[in-house]
Amino acid sequence: MAETSAPSVAAEGTEHVDFDVEGMTCAACATRVERALNNVPGVIEARVNLALERADVVFERELLALEHLTDAVDRAGYHARPAAAASVRQVQDQARLDSERRTLVVSATLTAPLLIGMGLNTLGYEDLHVMPVGEVLLATPIQFLIGLRFYRGAFNALRTGAANMDVLVALGTTAAYCYSWYLLRTLGEEADGRLYFEASAVIITLVLLGKHMENRAKRGAAAALQALLALRPDTGCMLRADGTEVEVPAEQLRQGDLVLVRPGGRVPVDGKVVEGASEVDESLVSGESVPVPKRAGDTVTGGSVNGFGLLKVRTTTVGEASTLARIARLVADAQAGKASVQRLVDRVSAIFVPSVLAFSALTFIAWLVVSGNFEQALIAAVAVLVIACPCALGLATPTAILTGTGAAAQAGILIRDIEVLEQAHRIDAIVFDKTGTLTEGRPRVLAVHGTRGDPEATLRWAAAVQQGSEHPLAKAILAHAVERNLALEPVRSFQAVPGRGAEGSVAGRHVAVGNGGFIGERTPVDADMQALARQREAAGETVVFVAADDELLGVITLADPPRSNAAQAVQMLQALHVSPTLLSGDAPGVAERIGRELGLPAHGGMSPEAKARAVQELASAGKVVGMVGDGVNDAPALAAADVGIAMGSGTDIAMAAAGVTLMRPDPRLVAGAVAASRATFRKIRQNLFWAFIYNVVCIPLAAIGYLSPTLAAAAMALSSVSVVCNSLLLRGWRPNLAAQNA
């Protein structure tokens, strides 16, 4: 959801812009707008989302101006303007819903006497109904004033050589209306009781009712995202250099500004705490409602709620670059895409309306030939036109995706796009990296052993090399050295060997740290050290060997305990019939130990390439594989997987890189992501089933004359409303994180 209407810059020379599109009533309309935009020279890609009533266009900046795009949409019979900010859009939507409701009330009031008259008539109270003149007076404004929108829509569609739902409604109601007029003119008072004015009126009223309920429900579906954005505070309390405080609009805050966050207040920007201590509720970004302690040096995210402490925060990112804005953008982009099922549905609905028109004509002719009764033939044909409106079909997929991805985002699961969602619901194997995903990822040094009984020298050399490394083990070793106040020499020509170790030159010596295999290639490891390493590894500890100039200096043992909910995550996946596997670059003994503890198969000693190969093997065995990794040295395996899953911690999330981003480091959310995508696709299938079944059952019924036009209108309205309501049920979806008794 673009917060501003200004186009944002996409790739070199191209521009990206969102439009609000008015007047689309069904999937056929969305397809037409999309085609019109794609046909404008200079447009690279245009996508239209019916549920969001939004078009999303990438075009070449040199070649065209925004007016070319809006003109193209206007020529296709719709109206487009640059997307309004979320808050403006909300007001506009509300105004539109209000006006729809007023029209509906008028329409229903005029229709009611007609309907009551018809009811009494069928019950035998023939004297009590509305006289023919009264029928004309009631039905005419409905047909031509309230129903004007259908004529307009139909005219626009036909002008561009296409047909849509408006054509069906306009044609059906006009036929019933005109035939009633004809009867009235030819039979005069005799026509009393045989007129179909009420059928036209009821069809128009019910189609309006269906649309209104649908629009209300669609707004509900988009609400998750709006709720996210609405929580962004509008103002922040800025601390001036002279120590005075001013309340300024959040968008005026710049990087480096000092901001005061009071107890209970919302953090207005992303930033770093410089003073104070508190607990902060970050559920908005991470889905996690347990408050996170914050003190000087910690990062905070805009939109999170401060607890009882006073925090002084230095702003780091603002505006479109802020975490919340990026999340919102990501979710909106995902929702704007089109599932491949949807593309199929679009193709079907493009030929659906013309087919219905043909079938309706066929019905008319067949009745005329078989029974010779013009009236029966006309009424059956009208019923076919009305029942067959494909609006439920057009809403089935987008509404489910909207609610599904929205609910997942609120639970802290970000799904990049529809393709990912489609892949994710098929996942039946998950590969976990060990460090940082199933384990805490904050290893601690347990012991340092020196070959010549000098542990401190071992630690000093190792820590010196590790200054160049970002690896969690490196950080742990460094921290351990700093705690001991060891002075470290700088490292030169540092080289990391992913999944194995690191080396560099320190004070003229060539120092290497890493696993047994890595060091074993450089220097022999004596039996004592071998035995020690085996023993520690079997206990689940990570052993890092340290060598200098091809001489083994000693080993450092570290512990990285499994995350408290890792075992539950494994069980949750198994309950979903997804087989989890642990692949680690750590020693086989460590991997096996953790695997046993958590209850999943585990393989150690794997290089990043070996991990990628293992993922490919799973894939060629017919599995759809999800890979959970830290994204740094697991990049090859992440790329080889069908779905890459990144587990974020706080704000340093590589959101764009992975297909799925988990907003907090909780492995249970991996199962949550699979469950969310499955729930969404289950909804899509249900919706498509309901949309089709109405047509499959009702069109033949209408054709053989069992479904009056009035009933057909009711069934049609019900079908769209039921599809949208079914999708709305997904709004309450949350991953089931309740502990199962293991």
Residues at the interface with ligand ADP (CB under 6 A): 433-435, 466, 469, 471, 473-474, 499-502, 513-515, 542, 544, 584-586, 633
Q: Could you tell me what percentage of the chain is helix, strand and coil, using 3-state DSSP and rounding each to the nearest 5?
A: 55, 20, 30
CB atoms within 10 A of CB 741: 4
Q: Is the dihedral of CA 177, 179, 180, 184 positive or negative?
A: positive
Report which DSSP code applies to 436: I
Find which of ligand ADP, Mg ion, none residue 164 binds, CB within 5 to 8 Å per kind: none
Minimum CB–partner distance for residue 669 and Mg ion (Å): 18
Phi/psi of residue 364, each to 5°? -60, -50
Find which of ligand ADP, Mg ion, none residue 544 binds, CB within 5 to 8 Å per kind: ligand ADP
Q: Are 646 and 629 in contact (CB under 8 A)?
A: yes
499 or 709, CB closer to ligand ADP? 499
410 or 466, CB closer to ligand ADP? 466
Find which of Mg ion, ligand ADP, none residue 70 binds, CB within 5 to 8 Å per kind: none
Find which of Mg ion, ligand ADP, none residue 360 binds, CB within 5 to 8 Å per kind: none
Find which of ligand ADP, Mg ion, none residue 502 binds, CB within 5 to 8 Å per kind: ligand ADP
Structure tokens at 169: 């409604």
* Longest distance between any two alpha carbons in the chain, whole Å: 118
Minimum CB–partner distance for residue 467 and Mg ion (Å): 19
Minimum CB–partner distance for residue 740 and ligand ADP (Å): 26
Q: CA 23: distance to chain centroid?
A: 25
Structure tokens at 154: 């139909």
270 or 433, CB closer to Mg ion? 433
* Annotated active-site residue in 20, 56, 93, 433: 433
Q: Are 449 and 455 in contact (CB under 8 A)?
A: yes
CA distance 319 to 337: 24
Give bridge partners of residue 502 from the DSSP assignment: 496, 513
Minimum CB–partner distance for residue 557 and Mg ion (Å): 18
636 or 659, CB closer to ligand ADP? 636
Interface ranges with Mg ion (CB under 5 A): 433, 435
172 or 629, CB closer to ligand ADP? 629
Exposure string over 498-537, b if 16+ CB within 10 A, otherwise e? bbbbbbbbbeeeebbbbbbebbeebbebeeebeebbeebb
Residue number with the smallest Cβ distance to ligand ADP: 585
Rounded (10°) CA dihedral 604, 605, 608, 610 = -90
Phi/psi of residue 273, each to 5°? -70, 125
568 Cβ contact list (under 8 Å, min separation 6): 668, 739, 740, 742
Minimum CB–partner distance for residue 480 and ligand ADP (Å): 13
Minimum CB–partner distance for residue 571 and ligand ADP (Å): 21
158 or 635, CB closer to ligand ADP? 635
Find which of ligand ADP, Mg ion, none residue 460 binds, CB within 5 to 8 Å per kind: none
Minimum CB–partner distance for residue 288 and ligand ADP (Å): 23
Interhelix angle 668-703/374-387, rounded to 10 degrees, is: 170
504 or 608, CB closer to Mg ion? 608
Three-state secondary structure call for residue 515 = coil
Query: Among 214, 223, 181, which residue's Cα sits nearest to residue 89?
Result: 223
Minimum CB–partner distance for residue 304 and ligand ADP (Å): 29
* Residue 58 exposed, middle or buried by CB count within 10 Å (0-12, 13-18, 19+): middle
348 or 632, CB closer to ligand ADP? 632
Question: Residue by residue, what is the 3-state secondary structure of 658-700?
Answer: CCEEECCCCCHHHHHHHHHHHHHHHHHHHHHHHHHHHHHHHHH
Find which of ligand ADP, Mg ion, none residue 306 binds, CB within 5 to 8 Å per kind: none
Find which of ligand ADP, Mg ion, none residue 394 binds, CB within 5 to 8 Å per kind: none
528 in active site: no
Phi/psi of residue 37, each to 5°? -70, -40
Beta-strand ranges (E) seen in 332-372 are: none
CA distance 413 to 507: 47
Minimum CB–partner distance for residue 90 and ligand ADP (Å): 45
The sheet with strand 277-281 has its strands ordered as: 292-295, 277-281, 305-306
Minimum CB–partner distance for residue 491 and ligand ADP (Å): 11
Find which of ligand ADP, Mg ion, none residue 499 binds, CB within 5 to 8 Å per kind: ligand ADP
CA distance 668 to 663: 12
Minimum CB–partner distance for residue 252 and ligand ADP (Å): 43
135 or 433, CB closer to Mg ion? 433
15 or 440, CB closer to ligand ADP? 440
128 or 639, CB closer to Mg ion? 639
Structure tokens at 338: 């089109």
Three-state secondary structure call for residue 412 = coil
Structure tokens at 158: 């036909």
Find which of ligand ADP, Mg ion, none residue 501 binds, CB within 5 to 8 Å per kind: ligand ADP
Find which of Mg ion, ligand ADP, none residue 664 binds, CB within 5 to 8 Å per kind: none
Rounded (10°) CA dihedral 494, 500, 501, 505 = -50
Query: Among 517, 518, 477, which residue's Cα sits nearest to residue 495?
Result: 518
| Catalytic residue IDs | 433
